[in-house]
Structure 1
Amino acid sequence: MNLIPQALTPSLYDEDLSESEQQEILHLQQEILAAVAQNLDHLAVIRQVCLLEEQLLPDAVASVMLLDEQKLLQLYVAPSIPAEGAARLSNLRPGPHAGSCGNAVYRGEAVFVSNTRSDPRWQELRPLALDFGLMACWSMPIRGAGQQILGTFALSSFVGREPNAFHRKILEIGASIIGIVLERQRQEQTLSLLGKVFESSNQAIMLTDSQAGILEVNRAFSDMTGYSAAEVKGQRPSLLSSGRHDRAFYQNMWRSLQERGYWQGEVWNRRKNGEVYPEWLSITAIREAGQITNYVSFFFDISEQKATQARLEFLTCHDPLTELPNRLIVQEQLSQAMVSSARRQLQAALLYLDLDEFRTINASLGQAVGDQLLRAVADRLRQLLGEQYPLGRLDSDEFAIVLAGVEELDQPAELAEQIIQAFLKPFVIAGHELICTLSIGIALYPEDGEDGDSLLKKADSAMSHAKQDGRNTFRFYSESMNRDAAAHLQLRTGLRRALAQGELFLEYQPQVELVSGRVIGAEALVRWQHPQLGRIAPADFIGVAEQSGLIVPLGEWVLQQACAQAAAWQRAGQPLVVAVNLSGVQFKRGDLVDSVAAALLEHELDPALLELELTETILIEGTEHVLDNLQRLKALGVQLSIDDFGTGYSSLAYLSRLPVDKLKIDQSFVRSLRQVPANATIVRMVVQMARSLGIRSIAEGVEDAQARDFLLANQCDEGQGYWFSRPLAAPALSALLQAGAGHLPPSV
């Protein structure tokens, strides 16, 4: 703000002023500017102005009156007016008869009264003039920076007189400089107040220049970010960037600031200690003459608000005691499971769990113990299920588990059995050891219901049946499924015992070279002699073994037994290539190659006498992983064949990448060569494919001479089937080979 008013500039001096008057004005100007330059208190400066003006007008007093909030004039400074007179100069309402000062404000212009005793403008204040001998009064409005009237500056004379040019000039100078001083004082007060607001605000404040360089920050900024003002001055706000927002986010922010001058929203920033936190940020562009000069940012940490909001949202969908999804979410998960399962033409399952004797525990030990038990139950279920199956709490001691994409009945039954076994371990709650078993009901989609409500009701009903049947068990809603599940459970339990008690054994089906009729190999086939159920077909227990994970120890046992027998034939001078089937579960495990190498080493078997049969499906899944394992197996020296070839997706290009030695044509094609002409074409194509790749072919299911002749005519290398021999125990096969000098007579 320019501190030298126009009234003080020499270019505005009145030509009528004498040289001495001009010198006095210059002296007045110097004195006033000196007082301003000393940075004195504004009241001291105004008092100095009044005293200087009184020196230039003898027999006169100077006064300053300011408007208050009610627009009434109040005496502000009057160094030469006695106290009793000053007391009467208060609450003066501007108007046409309110004296010189009241008229100056009322008219908005200078008022010069030369005779207060006769001038009508002094009608209301004439008693004051008479009491104190005031004869003349000249008043000039004091204006602020926006030209609004702040009050008046007056020279009151004890002599009646008209103001000359000199008097008008000094009055103008006084009013002008007092307006400047008052405006500066107001600005200082405003700045002081703003400074206090800036520092005491609980919102972080940051002021930057037009290029986003940080100029100032307040204490709340330092408290929130951990950076002191000294550390951030001259830096850019990107110092706080969390990395969570992309470039487009900040481009949109600055575009809004340029176009609208304002942006606000939620931002994730990073504190000095590395902690990322959310804040609500408001940025305003400050403009002067249409150009952005600064940006001011206000922001506050909303971590607590977001945590509260997240907690409220969580509690809307979750049980507050166990923090499991509530019934509403379980129903949503069940609906999603039904939709996804239907799309894949599979089943979905709902397991309805209820604690046995929970009400007794709750009643005898108290609700606090009951609540702790429920939390412990939820934790145990979470640990058992992991992220694989959605788990929720329906009510009190009732829980639910949703299974999508169910392929086999064993899947929900096995899971139910695992849960039941896990709950045989006691809980230790508040010093009490509690056995808390479960009763589980299972309902299937779409067989038991095609909507969530139906499945919940039927799973609940099945759970009630489990309670009635003695608790600590599970039941399907369908009785037929209960019988199937019981049968599967019996097989699974029996198979574990069979592995431990030697109920399993191997038989070997010869593999014959078609051109010579010589037995060159044998496929090892696992058999199970159950002590109560008798002989169980592989088709009935291999699937159970794969679903339960028992296929891994079973496959390891078969590999060891087959290698031991092949080594025995090798030592006896009857070397045969023994073929062993591998399941997909075995092949996906990381230790298959090591297991094969260990078996070869343990039994001192020539690797060329071991053939590993892999299904076409295994080879198609996960090509790079498959190729790596095949290369490692091939490096051991064993032979590799593809079993059941033709039943899956195959291509010459794909096969050319695999280091296999033999393609095994599935028996379903061979047995129906005459009945289904297309099968004969498929067999020919497989044989030709093998020959084009330089590998051997073998056909399963050779049960008559016609099939043998067809295969021989189409240059198939080997055959296997009942026409040559049924699967035999190892001693029986050895005896036949000795009797036939390595050949087998047809068994038809």
Structure 2
Amino acid sequence: MTQHVPHTCTDSATDDIQLSMQEQNGILSLQQTLLAAVARGDAAHEVIDRLCLLEEQLVPNAVASVMTMDADTQALNVLAAPSIPVEARDQLQNLRPGPEAGSCGNAVFREEPVFVSNTYTDARWKELRSVAEDFNICACWSMPILGAGGKVIGSFALSSFEHRSPTAFHRKLLAIGAHLVGIVLERKAKDTQLRLAARLFETSEEGMVITDAENRIQAVNPAFTRATGYAPDECLGKRPSMLSSGRHDKAFYVALWEKLQRTGHWQGEIWNRRKNGEIYPEWLVISAIRDQSGEIVQHVGIFSDLTEQHASQNRIRFLATHDSLTELPNRMVLEERCGQIITWARKANHRVALLFVDVDNLKLVNDSLGHAAGDVLLQSVAQRLRHCVGDKDLVCRQGGDEFIVLLDELPAFEIAATVAQRINERLGAPYHTDSGELVTSVSIGISVFPDDGEDFNALLRKADAAMYQAKEAGRNTFRSHHLDVSTDVLNDLVIRNGLRPALERNEFSLHYQPILTLDSGALIGAEALLRWQHPTLGNVPPDRFIPVAELTGHIVGIGEWVLGEACREAANWSRRGLGELTVSVNLSPLQFRHGTLEAHVSAALAEAGLSARCLELEITESTLIGDTATLVGQLANLKAQGIRLAIDDFGTGYSCLAYLRRLPVDRLKIDRSFVADMSQDADDASIVRAIVQMAAGLGLRTTAEGVEEAHHHDALKALGCTEVQGYHYARPMPADAFACWAADRLGQPSAAISD
């Protein structure tokens, strides 16, 4: 006879009344022993085996067992049965719950206690009859084990070797056993989850950071350390803002936290800073962890470093606009840039040159040494071409053996010829490759805007035609429709070859043009202007030799000499009683990029004994193109010494208010081209007014250059310009002449300042 006995709280209370004191003490001892083992953190299988053995001691002639449900197969398997033979356990494996699957199969199937007093005859043991008979299991009582949320996860059973029904004591033991096993299994599952979470935390390739409710860092994983460079002890207790790159404004973070508070989640791309200072992109996912009351107690951030992904995307974008072999810009970039430069040149009345460069005999290299050798040669040609032109010029690969050079802001036709000849010479030097020493040459065709055409395609056609003329002339040369090669190149060669020894021969000198305050006419300083007296060409205009010096790199050495000479002369002014006049020295962009400018300036001041506040350095707007961060750093260092800074020819280059606000300059010099026509040209007058007003708003002084007429003086004064220089006041003068002029201006006798 079998019976179903659902275990309820009422039944439990009734059972307790029916238990003897000895039985109650046995149950109490069982509970204490098992709970102590759980509290100690004993292994789950050890605790469950001990439970089975303790219950067997309290129920003689019976064995205990625990079966658990496999979530995948939905079948029961023996988890613990220390006193049941292995053969019996094997036959009970993969037991599918059902109405004929024994006491345990039924308890799980029905989700209620099942007590079978005779397994030999009860229909619920039909599928397991042979097990009962083979191992003398006469009766079996089973209690479902409940997991989280009341879900049945297995069964706890007592199997008797005699036919009998469970007493109240037995039912109490079954209930306690099932309950304790449920606790142990749930704890094991949670421990497993925690271990998996910990392992995931430690081994994840994604960086993880956990913060408290106040956003102080509580934990970081190894991937975090690898990505940021910060070890755990360097960031625990600090805020994630320690990683801020400065790329995001306050509004970005306000929006981030607003969404996180509102939805509990935020994800997006963010730029952070590593310990070594490198800024990098990451994909960040932040989740808010709330307690039972809904209050946020922690934040969990998980991020992936996007550096490689960005690099790949940048590479794809790069290849869309650049040649993959030489990494030079392609024709698409050239055409776009040429259009922009022509637009500007048309307004500024500048010339622009296009050089079509064709490598001679590349096919011979490919056919004799292979295309790999030809590719190496093309890469070397590209590298040399880059070093033949200025930073503002553009070199691109047209395709095959053809390259194109775009020269911006040409002061004269002959500069294009000078560049072409430099290309012929440098590209004609031997190339040392794995295939041996290679020698080649290039043929160059030159076209010039606006003389040869008004747009890119027209200039390209003319340059291409001129290149073929160079080929027909024997190769390794250049041709143009508008350059008198024999005369111009000869003069350029003399200029270029004469620049190197000019310093040694003392052919350079400085002239000084006074700078005056516009309101009082007081002398405040002078601009040092370079002059060159060539032994055969005579007085070479600065706009003729300075561009060549820029292209050849001689400007760095020349600039160093100018700094030293100007500082010595300014120191002499002070010693001769002319007061602390400021000397202004023009700087080339190459001097900044050379990396020794700050040292040269400091040395010039020290050797002359000149106060830093008596030196002003003038830079052109073209200097601002390129590595602006490095330039700002150099200017800040110079400014920190007390040196004054000015932007020369302001308004003629790449004027940018954003750049201007970042630069520690004191003065803007208004280009003479605006001053000359301001009385007749309303646009020029508006430009001058805008520059003066902008400078005033930024707290900067303004100096108008090229003031040659009285009406220029009056107009500039009305506009609020602060300083002037030009022929209306004085022409540039040699050092001694300027000293005498300054003494007269200051009301001193010339004899007082003579050597």
Post-superposition shift, 1:96? 1.6
Distance 1:122 1:548, change over 3 A: same
Post-superposition shift, 1:142? 0.5
For residues 388 and 148 of structure 2, the distance between their equivalents in structure 1, rounded to whole angstroms, comes to 77
Q: Structure 1 counterpart of 2:116, which letter?
A: V
Structure-1 residue corresponding to 2:609: none
Structure-2 residue corresponding to 1:185: 188
Q: Structure 2 counterpart of 1:401, which letter?
A: V
Q: Structure 2 counterpart of 1:17, which letter?
A: Q
Post-superposition shift, 1:444? 4.1
1:154 counterpart (157, 173, 180): 157
Post-superposition shift, 1:152? 0.8
Tell me, yes or no, if the aligned pair for 1:49 and 1:174 is still in contact at 8 Å: yes
Post-superposition shift, 1:660? 7.9
Structure-1 residue corresponding to 2:545: 549
For residues 453 and 552 of structure 1, the distance between their equivalents in structure 2, rounded to whole angstroms, comes to 28
Residues 452-471 of structure 1 show CA distances to partners (whole Å, capped at 9, x for unaligned) of: 34432332112112322444
For residues 390 and 158 of structure 1, the distance between their equivalents in structure 2, rounded to whole angstroms, comes to 98
Tell me, yes or no, if the aligned pair for 2:446 and 2:466 is still in contact at 8 Å: yes
Q: Structure 1 counterpart of 2:143, which letter?
A: M
Structure-2 residue corresponding to 1:77: 80
Range that drifts further, 236-245 or 147-156: 236-245
1:283 counterpart (286, 291, 298): 286
Tell me, yes or no, if the aligned pair for 1:337 and 1:402 is still in contact at 8 Å: no
- Does 2:249 match 1:253? no
2:323 counterpart (319, 330, 339): 319
Structure-1 residue corresponding to 2:148: 145
Structure-1 residue corresponding to 2:44: 42
Q: Secondary structure at the match of 2:31?
A: helix
Q: Secondary structure at the match of 1:384?
A: coil
For residues 591 and 439 of structure 1, the distance between their equivalents in structure 2, rounded to whole angstroms, comes to 42
Q: Secondary structure at the match of 1:324?
A: coil
For residues 498 and 178 of structure 1, the distance between their equivalents in structure 2, rounded to whole angstroms, comes to 99
Structure-1 residue corresponding to 2:240: 237
Q: Structure 1 counterpart of 2:17, which letter?
A: D
Distance 1:420 1:48, change over 3 A: closer
The 5-angstrom pairing of residues 165-564 of structure 1 reads 165-289=168-292, 290-342=294-346, 348-357=352-361, 359=363, 370-404=374-408, 409-410=413-414, 412-413=416-417, 415-417=419-421, 419-420=423-424, 436-445=440-449, 448-449=452-453, 451-476=455-480, 479=481, 481-482=482-483, 545=541, 547-549=543-545
For residues 158 and 49 of structure 2, the distance between their equivalents in structure 1, rounded to whole angstroms, comes to 13
Tell me, yes or no, if the aligned pair for 2:140 and 2:157 is still in contact at 8 Å: yes
Post-superposition shift, 1:118? 4.2
Post-superposition shift, 1:108? 0.8
Q: Secondary structure at the match of 2:385?
A: helix
The 5-angstrom pairing of residues 129-144 of structure 1 reads 129-144=132-147
Post-superposition shift, 1:133? 4.2
Distance 1:547 1:361, change over 3 A: farther
Tell me, yes or no, if the aligned pair for 1:99 and 1:123 is still in contact at 8 Å: yes
Q: Secondary structure at the match of 1:71?
A: coil
For residues 497 and 103 of structure 2, the distance between their equivalents in structure 1, rounded to whole angstroms, comes to 120
Structure-2 residue corresponding to 1:699: none
For residues 195 and 547 of structure 2, the distance between their equivalents in structure 1, rounded to whole angstroms, comes to 83
Range that drifts further, 247-256 or 408-417: 408-417
**TM-score relative to the length of structure 2:** 0.62
For residues 567 and 90 of structure 2, the distance between their equivalents in structure 1, rounded to whole angstroms, comes to 111
For residues 357 and 203 of structure 1, the distance between their equivalents in structure 2, rounded to whole angstroms, comes to 54
The 5-angstrom pairing of residues 79-118 of structure 1 reads 79-118=82-121
Structure-1 residue corresponding to 2:35: 33
Structure (1 or 2) with the larger CA radius of gyration:
1
Structure-2 residue corresponding to 1:729: none
Distance 1:155 1:400, change over 3 A: same
Post-superposition shift, 1:188? 2.0
Residues 154-186 of structure 1 show CA distances to partners (whole Å, capped at 9, x for unaligned) of: 122344444344332221111100111111122
Q: Secondary structure at the match of 1:169?
A: helix
Structure-1 residue corresponding to 2:531: none
- Does 2:717 match 1:653? yes
Tell me, yes or no, if the aligned pair for 2:143 and 2:178 is still in contact at 8 Å: yes
Structure-1 residue corresponding to 2:585: none
Range that drifts further, 71-80 or 304-313: 304-313
Structure-2 residue corresponding to 1:743: none
Tell me, yes or no, if the aligned pair for 1:492 and 1:548 is still in contact at 8 Å: no
* Number of matched pairs: 558
Tell me, yes or no, if the aligned pair for 2:707 and 2:727 is still in contact at 8 Å: no
Residues 165-210 of structure 1 show CA distances to partners (whole Å, capped at 9, x for unaligned) of: 4332221111100111111122222322333333233333333323
Tell me, yes or no, if the aligned pair for 1:7 and 1:176 is still in contact at 8 Å: no
Structure-2 residue corresponding to 1:518: none
Structure-2 residue corresponding to 1:59: 61
Residues 360-395 of structure 1 show CA distances to partners (whole Å, capped at 9, x for unaligned) of: 566667766655544443333322312121111223
Post-superposition shift, 1:71? 1.6
Tell me, yes or no, if the aligned pair for 1:642 and 1:663 is still in contact at 8 Å: no
For residues 428 and 65 of structure 1, the distance between their equivalents in structure 2, rounded to whole angstroms, comes to 79
Distance 1:548 1:24, change over 3 A: same
CA RMSD in angstroms comes to: 4.9
Q: Secondary structure at the match of 1:123?
A: helix
Tell me, yes or no, if the aligned pair for 2:227 and 2:305 is still in contact at 8 Å: yes
Distance 1:24 1:241, change over 3 A: same
Distance 1:200 1:590, change over 3 A: closer
Q: Identity of paired residues, percent? A: 44
For residues 348 and 706 of structure 2, the distance between their equivalents in structure 1, rounded to whole angstroms, comes to 28
Q: Which runs of 5+ in 2 are unaligned?
A: 1-6, 502-535, 550-558, 574-646, 651-665, 671-704, 731-744, 746-755
Range that drifts further, 429-438 or 247-256: 429-438
Tell me, yes or no, if the aligned pair for 2:76 and 2:94 is still in contact at 8 Å: yes
Post-superposition shift, 1:649? 8.5
For residues 42 and 552 of structure 1, the distance between their equivalents in structure 2, rounded to whole angstroms, comes to 86
Post-superposition shift, 1:447? 5.7
Tell me, yes or no, if the aligned pair for 2:207 and 2:303 is still in contact at 8 Å: yes
Residues 591-612 of structure 1 show CA distances to partners (whole Å, capped at 9, x for unaligned) of: 99799999x9xxxxxxxxxxxx
The 5-angstrom pairing of residues 593-742 of structure 1 reads 645=709, 651=715, 653=717, 658=724
Q: Structure 1 counterpart of 2:709, which letter?
A: F
Q: Structure 1 counterpart of 2:285, which letter?
A: S
Q: Secondary structure at the match of 2:60?
A: coil
Post-superposition shift, 1:75? 2.3
Tell me, yes or no, if the aligned pair for 2:708 and 2:726 is still in contact at 8 Å: no
Range that drifts further, 263-272 or 69-78: 263-272
Tell me, yes or no, if the aligned pair for 1:318 and 1:325 is still in contact at 8 Å: yes
